[in-house]
Every structure is written in C-alpha cells, then in structure tokens.
C-alpha cells in the first residue's frame, strides 16, 4: 500500500514539473493561451488578425484612456532563446477617438529597461476613422528571414479609413510562441464595456494551440474574455474574443412586424 | 605553492567575482514589461502623408538635437512610400552621434509590398500626397553603455540607388542637406551635418531613445 501511495505521489510530482497547468476557467485579459508553429520559423510569417463583429468601447483604461492590441512572445521562451535575453513586443494603440499608433518595444529581461523601440508615427497618433466600429480589422504580421529572425513587422488597420506601416527593425530578434492581449497601456488595465469579434492566427506553417504561459510578461491587463482555440494543427487558427452583441428586445405591444 | 601566494590568488578570485557581480545582475528582472504609449522622441513629428521623390545616388543628411539625455539606445526611422519602387533598389542609412558614424544599415528593396501606396494628389514642386501606407527603414545603436547629454546632435543620412518617394516634414524643425553625389554608398566616418546644399525638402526622420 505504501509503495502504491509513494508511486502515485511521485507520478503526481513528475506531472506537476513537466506538464504546465491546464486552466479550467475561460481565458481573460492578458492570457488567451498561446500559439506556436512548432519549429524555428524561417522564411515564413505569423499574423494576428482581429476582426470586430461589434463596436469596441471601454469604461476605463487608466492611466491615459488608451487601449492596445498586443502580440506578445512567451516570457520563458524569450528568456531562454532570445539573444540578449530580450522581450520583443509589437502593439497597436488606440484612444477612444480611434487615433492610433503602431509600436515595437524591446525590453531587457535582466533589468526591465527599454532596450529599443520604434513607433509610427514617431510622436503622437494618427486618426483612422472607424477602427473601433463593427467590421474594423486590426492586423499585425511578423515576417521571418532565413535564419528565423524577424525581418519586418507589418501593421494594418482597415475600417472606414485605413492605415498601414511596415517596420524593418534590426534583425536581432527571433519569433517565439506568442499570444494576443487586448489590454491597457502603460501598465494599466482596461475595463471594456463592449467588444466582440474573432481572432485569426495564421501562418504558412501549421500552427498549434499550446499551454498558456507559466509567467505573464506584459504589464497590462483587461476584462476581455477569450474563447477556445479552433483549428489547431492547421495554418489558420481562430479564437473568439469579447461578448456577443446584445439580443434585440422581444417584440411586444405591436411594435414589430407590419 | 607558498601560503602567501595561495591567499593572493584567492583574494584575486574573490575580487574578480565581486566585480562581475557588480557589473551584471545575476537575477533576471521579475517584474512585467509595459506597453508604453509615451516615448522619448526628438526627431520629426510628421504625420501628414506627403512624399518627395528623393533623387538617386545622393547622400542626404538630416540632423536633430536631443532635448533630453539619450540612454540605452538611439534609433532612427525613415519612412518610404511603397510606390513604384524599382526592385533591387539599395537604400542605405547612416546614424551619426556628435558627427561620428555609429551605425549603418543597408537594405535592398524588393518593390513588393503588402499595401502599396497610391498618389492621392500631386502637390506640385516635386511633392505628392499619398495614401496611408508607409514602410519604415531603421538604423539604430543599441545597448549604450553610457548616456549622451541633452543637446547631443544626432544626424541621419540616407542614400538610394534609384529614386524613391520619402516622407517629408512639411513643418520642419530641421533642414536636410544634399552632401555628395556618388554612384556608390560610402558613408563618411565623420560628417559635417550642415555641409552641402540645402535639399528642397526636409526628410521626415523619426528619432527615439530612452
């Protein structure tokens, strides 16, 4: 009996060490699980496309009332595999008027300091009409060169207006398993009042839903809920985000029909 | 080995270890990393989509003075409109701090872009207004070991083997200068920022640091 108990406990400990914890609860804010392409991706791309099926608004987003769509690499993998132990983040920012900016920010995982950033526009933001409305599409694609380093990052916004920008940063950083964060900015947490749509994660390589990060890297958070990944093992995965649009009120008092 | 020699070697090892520990933290940062909207930018603040067809084989320099001290990195970005770019065009950027060359970056433009720009209006005098699609080519100096004080002049040079449409600053705080005409890109090690003739327009150069 003792042998069985000891064996079971040993197995449990081994499982806890080698298998990351699964989450039974729905993913929220800065944790929507992660996607991976399984290999060091060379001459390839991995994109995130956010298609809004309902308008996006928020009741608060301290400290500056700006929200972000973040494309974040895994913290542990960045520590292990990224040269200089750096964390390479790409982000689209928007204020409540749809004034947007695109950004790449690289942080030292030794000191927490900013090692590099580049923004478009370099200062302030640029208005793009309709980016917070139904049917708007937010897009970030990271392209990799022959040695798996990120060669360029394409940002796109398509709505009533449009704006796109491609950064060619130094080719210092490699693509690593990543996740999406509909979040705040400057370390803050956004409380979304209304939002909904579908995330598409696509590549020329097969993509996989993988266990969520053990340790979150981004300082921001939100109340944005995410659904389960669909299409794992294919070149296009999907995941819902936000809330379904409110159902219209039931017909009453002869207000419906003719 | 004599006892004194052993003690000397031990002291040397302890001293060296202390120096290494002081130079680099051995424990990684445990906090999280912010997506900051605020940035230390001291270059052009252009957001209009106005482009100028930069001539081929001409080294053009644009300088800005930092309004704060510069630490950790100095990065520059030059925005190109992806419009009728000839495949194989070389675009070379140089970064100078206090007139001294500190970084170069060489690109070969493919002429193939996800969202090509379109000309919305010919603005005359060699200018055109473009749709909201730009490509930012960068040059940067990373991992600075010491900072530069406020007032440091930073210069960016650009050279292309074929004409390319570059975003210009229509409300410039600084001018651009045409330095040399050369069929090959040869960045000088030392630059005289205001040498040469004044270019018709100031290139829009984004400059950032921390």
| Topology of domain A25-242, CATH | Jelly Rolls (2.60.120)
Which residues of chain A neighbour B136 with C-beta distances below 8 Å? Answer: 118, 120, 165-168
Tell me the pLDDT band of B27, cut-offs 50, 70 and 90: confident
Alpha carbon distance A128, A57 (integer Å)? 16
Nearest chain B alpha carbon to A126: B47
The pTM is what?
0.87
pLDDT in tens, B156-207: 999 999 999 999 999 898 999 998 777 788 889 999 878 899 999 999 999 9
Tokens representing B22?
A: 């002081």
Which residues of chain B neighbour A116 with C-beta distances below 8 Å? Answer: 72-73, 75, 140, 142
Of A116, A124, A165, the CB nearest to B73: A116
Residue A24: what pLDDT? 42
Contact A126 B134 (CB under 8 A): no
pLDDT in tens, B105-123: 999 999 999 999 999 999 8
| Distance in Å, alpha carbon of B90 to nearest chain A alpha carbon | 14
Average confidence (pLDDT) over B75-79 = 98
Mean of per-residue pLDDT scores for chain B: 90
* B71 belongs to a structural domain: yes
Residue A244: what pLDDT? 80
| Distance in Å, alpha carbon of B35 to nearest chain A alpha carbon | 5
Evaluate whether B146 touches B87 at the Cβ level (below 8 Å).
no
* B28 belongs to a structural domain: no
pLDDT digit of tens for each residue in chain A (258 aa)? 555 555 554 544 444 444 444 444 469 999 889 999 988 899 999 999 999 999 999 999 999 999 999 999 999 999 999 988 999 999 999 999 999 999 999 999 999 999 999 999 999 999 999 999 999 999 999 999 999 999 999 999 999 999 999 999 999 999 999 999 999 999 999 999 999 999 999 999 999 999 888 899 999 999 999 999 999 999 999 999 999 866 666 665 444 544
Sort strands A66-73 and B197-198 into parallel, antiparallel or unpaired: unpaired
* B24 belongs to a structural domain: no
Evaluate whether A207 touches A245 at the Cβ level (below 8 Å).
no
Look up the CATH number of the domain holding residue B80: 2.60.120
Cβ count near B98 (within 10 Å): 12
Domain tally for chain B?
1
Q: E strands of chain B, at which residues?
A: 40-41, 50-54, 58-65, 74-80, 89-97, 100-109, 119-124, 127-130, 133-141, 153-160, 164-169, 176-181, 197-198, 202-203, 205-209
DSSP output for A145-185: -TTSBEEEEEEEEESSSEEEEEEE--TT-B---EEEEEE-S
Tell me the pLDDT band of B12, cut-offs 50, 70 and 90: low
Burial bucket for residue B40 (CB in 10 Å: 0-12, 13-18, 19+): middle
Domain extent for B48: 40-209
Of A111, A112, A120, the CB nearest to B134: A120
Residue A212: what pLDDT? 86
| Terminal-to-terminal C-alpha distance of chain B | 52
Contact A141 B114 (CB under 8 A): yes
Alpha carbon distance B186, B180 (integer Å)? 10
Residue B17: what pLDDT? 56
* B15 belongs to a structural domain: no
């Amino acid at each position: 009996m003792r042998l069985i108990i000891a064996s079971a406990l040993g197995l449990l400990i081994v499982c806890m060490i080698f298998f990351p914890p699964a989450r039974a609860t729905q993913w929220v804010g800065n944790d929507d699980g992660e996607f991976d392409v399984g290999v060091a991706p060379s001459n390839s791309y991995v994109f995130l496309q956010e298609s809004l099926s309902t308008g996006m608004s928020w009741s608060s987003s301290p400290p500056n009332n700006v929200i972000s769509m973040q494309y974040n690499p895994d913290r542990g993998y960045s520590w292990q595999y990224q040269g200089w132990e750096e964390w390479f983040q790409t982000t689209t920012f928007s204020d409540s008027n749809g004034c947007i900016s695109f950004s790449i920010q690289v942080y030292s995982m030794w000191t927490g300091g900013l090692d590099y950033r580049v923004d478009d526009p370099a200062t302030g933001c640029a208005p793009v009409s309709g980016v917070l409305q139904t049917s708007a599409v937010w897009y970030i694609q990271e392209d990799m060169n022959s040695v798996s380093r990120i060669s360029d990052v394409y940002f796109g916004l398509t709505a009533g207006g449009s704006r796109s920008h491609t950064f060619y940063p130094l080719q210092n950083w490699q693509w690593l398993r990543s996740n999406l964060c509909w979040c705040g900015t400057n370390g803050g947490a956004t409380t979304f009042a209304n939002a909904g749509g579908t995330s598409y994660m696509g590549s020329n390589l097969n993509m996989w839903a993988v266990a969520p990060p053990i340790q979150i890297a981004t300082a921001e958070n939100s109340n944005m809920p995410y659904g389960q990944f669909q299409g794992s093992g294919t070149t296009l995965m999907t995941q819902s985000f936000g809330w379904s649009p409110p159902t219209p009120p039931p017909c009453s008092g002869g207000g419906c029909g003719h | 080995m004599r006892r004194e020699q052993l003690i000397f070697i031990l002291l040397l090892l302890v001293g060296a270890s202390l120096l290494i520990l002081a130079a680099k933290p051995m424990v990684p940062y445990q906090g999280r990393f912010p997506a900051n909207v605020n940035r230390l930018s001291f270059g052009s603040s252009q957001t209009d989509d106005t482009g100028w067809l930069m001539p081929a084989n001409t080294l053009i320099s644009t300088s800005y003075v930092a309004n704060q001290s510069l630490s950790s990195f100095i990065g520059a970005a030059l925005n190109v409109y992806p419009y009728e770019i000839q495949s194989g065009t070389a675009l070379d950027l140089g970064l100078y701090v206090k007139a001294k060359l500190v970084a170069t970056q060489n690109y070969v433009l493919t002429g193939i872009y996800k969202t090509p720009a379109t000309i919305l209006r010919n603005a005359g005098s060699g200018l055109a207004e473009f749709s909201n699609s730009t490509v930012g080519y960068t040059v940067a100096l990373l991992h600075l070991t010491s900072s530069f004080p406020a007032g440091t002049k930073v210069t960016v040079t650009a050279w292309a083997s074929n004409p390319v449409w570059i975003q210009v600053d229509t409300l410039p705080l600084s001018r651009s200068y045409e330095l040399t005409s050369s069929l090959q890109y040869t960045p000088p090690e030392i630059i005289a920022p205001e040498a040469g003739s004044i270019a018709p327009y100031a290139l829009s150069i984004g400059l950032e640091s921390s």
